[in-house]
Structure 1
Amino acid sequence: MQLKRYYILTLFFIGLLWVFSLYAATPADTLAQLFTATQTMQADFTQTIFDNHGKSIQRSQGHMAFQRPGKFRWDVRSPLPQLVVANGQRLWIYDADLEQVVIRSLHQSAGETPALLLSRPNPVLQTDFKVSEGQGDNKGMQWFILTPKKNDNMFEQIRLGFRQEQIQAMRLTDHLGHSTLIEFHHIHINTALSSSLFSFVPKSGVDVIDETQR
């Protein structure tokens, strides 16, 4: 009985030490810990774009997956299908309506596709962004504010919302005051993902624009 009680108390104090170390860290360190704990993720998403007055002007839905570092899939299914795939080195942007795919270097496209940052290595993330902690909300969300250190980023601020140590939402604000809210649903963390999710082979007849050859 005494041994069992000692074991429970030991686990309790280990848990307290972990919590205290988490909150004693800088926001960048805390965010890095949260990212490190999530090596793979797949989820449904809704994406809503707002104008600079806060009015909703566009809404889309789809499915996403990532595997760190650098592998990513963003599959918009409605209202207009579009697919973005990254294999760690290259990025494919496929427009089904236009029957066209654009191939880019992943490094060159990181600032244009902010959702990619979920799959990026922690050192790269902290090199490119200043990280601060935002206020929590009534949904129990813990927010982190990412401000680009360079002016060539499409967005002036990126907010990441976590609940129970899982990413739940992203809010992106551009230089014109427009914002994009991405909310994740049916989230699966650290499950095995097929490598085929992170590769793209265009069908016959698809126009290929390879910007990596320029």
Structure 2
Amino acid sequence: MIRILLSLCTMVVLATAQPASANSESLVELLEPLVNGAGDFEQITYDSKGQPVQRSSGHFAVMKPGKFYWQTLQPYEQVLVSDAQTIWLYDPDLEQVTVKTFAGEQNQLPIRILSGDFDLIGKEFQLSEAKTEQGLVYHLAPNSASSNVASIDLTFVGQNLASMTVVDRTETKTQFVFSNRKALSQDDKNKFAFEIPEGADVFHDQPL
């Protein structure tokens, strides 16, 4: 799951809706109350033919600006952590930690937005919005063709972010459905400082 997140759906066909241009300020107004929070997620990944290939679930916590903790519990555990300067990917089964620098990580655009790096929205994307049966959908198309992310859809039901859809350049689609959102506890805040487990193999990776 985390590797998919690193390369980052609603499978709703939006052709029935009429998209309209949108400004970043309206999206930020909806996202602002949602940062500095925690909750649960469910994820389904679909291949380019629309067939589900993986399901997973877990917990997350985000804190503005740029801090996040993303723990997949099922079907196997992985942890992705950022303190806004460094990103750690920990695989307990393999006892491996991959370390990346936060700056310049184009493939982290979805989760950087969720963790309050809102300047990216106006700088990195063309925005449109559409009202659908599922809710208000903001469609974000990256300006850079070098990003592995082809599009991001954020679906709001009322003031609540119900799901995030990420499509990559291979047309793989990943849907994250959020639930049980709550304010950050002190325990959640402590998770943004990652300590490499003793005995784990450590790999340093350059920004993609």
Coarse TM-score class (shorter-chain normalised): 0.7 to 0.9
State whether structure 2 residue 86 is matched by structure 1 residue 106: no
Number of matched pairs: 185
Task: Give the 3-state SS of the residue equivalent to 1:114 in structure 2.
Answer: helix
Q: Which residue of 2 aligns with 1:13?
A: none
Q: Where in structure 2 are the equivalents of 1:93-132 lying within 5 Å?
A: 93-112=89-108, 114-132=110-128
State whether structure 2 residue 67 is matched by structure 1 residue 77: no
**Aligned partners of 2:77 and 2:205: how far apart in 1?**
22
**Aligned partners of 1:207 and 1:180: how far apart in 2?**
29
State whether structure 2 residue 144 is matched by structure 1 residue 150: yes
CA offset at residue 192 of structure 1? Answer: 4.0
**Aligned partners of 2:157 and 2:103: how far apart in 1?**
29
Unaligned stretches of 5+ residues in structure 1:
1-24
> What is the CA deviation profile of residues 137-193 of structure 1, one whole-angstrom value per residue up to 9, with x for unaligned ones?
2x4x211001001012112110001122121101111222221011011112x4444
CA offset at residue 199 of structure 1? Answer: 1.2
> What is the CA deviation profile of residues 50-93 of structure 1, one whole-angstrom value per residue up to 9, with x for unaligned ones?
11221111101110110111010110011121100001111101
Q: Which residue of 1 aligns with 2:176?
A: 182
Unaligned stretches of 5+ residues in structure 2:
1-20
Cα RMSD (Å): 1.9
Structure in which a larger fraction of residues adopt helix: 1
**Aligned partners of 2:91 and 2:203: how far apart in 1?**
12
From 54, 60, 71, give the equivalent of 1:58.
54
CA offset at residue 210 of structure 1? Answer: 2.8
Which gives a bigger RCO, structure 1 or 2 (Cα 8 Å, sep 6+)? 2
Assess, with a 3 A threshold, how the Cα gap between structure 1 residues 60 and 48 changes in structure 2: closer, same or farther. Answer: same
Assess, with a 3 A threshold, how the Cα gap between structure 1 residues 113 and 124 changes in structure 2: closer, same or farther. Answer: closer
Q: Which residue of 2 aligns with 1:90?
A: 86
